Amino acid sequence: MAPPRKTYAIARLDLSSGGTHGWQVRLQRRGVKHAKYFSDRLCGGAREAFDEALRWRDRVLRKFEEEEAIRVCRRSPRNRSGVVGVSKVRVVAANGAEYEFWQATWSPGVGKRRCVKFSVMRYGDSEAFRLAVEARMQAAGR
């Protein structure tokens, strides 16, 4: 993810009538709002308040990224492998031979799908599974 522009989600509040001077940070993810106000007076000046607002905003954005990584690649009870985007596939060839592999699947963009397969015969069941999980996490940018 590219770093946010310096003023992303940060707004200056100067309301002389109410004696309000400072910076406000407002972010929202998955319907949850995160907001904090940084007063010039309490932070030691406008520049100091902005710097604190920037640090807080960046901490919240890092938290969002970590939560997204967990959400994308966490264990799920809705599939047999327990890992989102990883599944065990069994294929029967035309000659009747059976092949098993672990497959990692992901979407690199709208309308696009990618996958990579790891043979159980070549790597063994647990190593093929581990490789598929690792590939899925890397594809998700984690």
Q: Tens of pLDDT along 31-49?
A: 889 999 999 999 999 999 9
Instruction: Check residue 20 and give left, alpha or beta (phi > 0: left; psi -120 to 50: alpha).
Output: beta
In the predicted model, is pLDDT for residue 112 greater than 80? yes
DSSP letter (8 states) at residue 16: G
Longest dimension (CA), the chain: 84
- Per the listing, tokens 């996958």 go with 115
> Which residues is 26 bridged to in the sheet?
35
Cα–Cα distance, 77 to 123 (Å, whole number):
25
How confident is the model at residue 74, as a pLDDT? 55
CA dihedral 87, 88, 93, 99 (to 10 degrees): 140
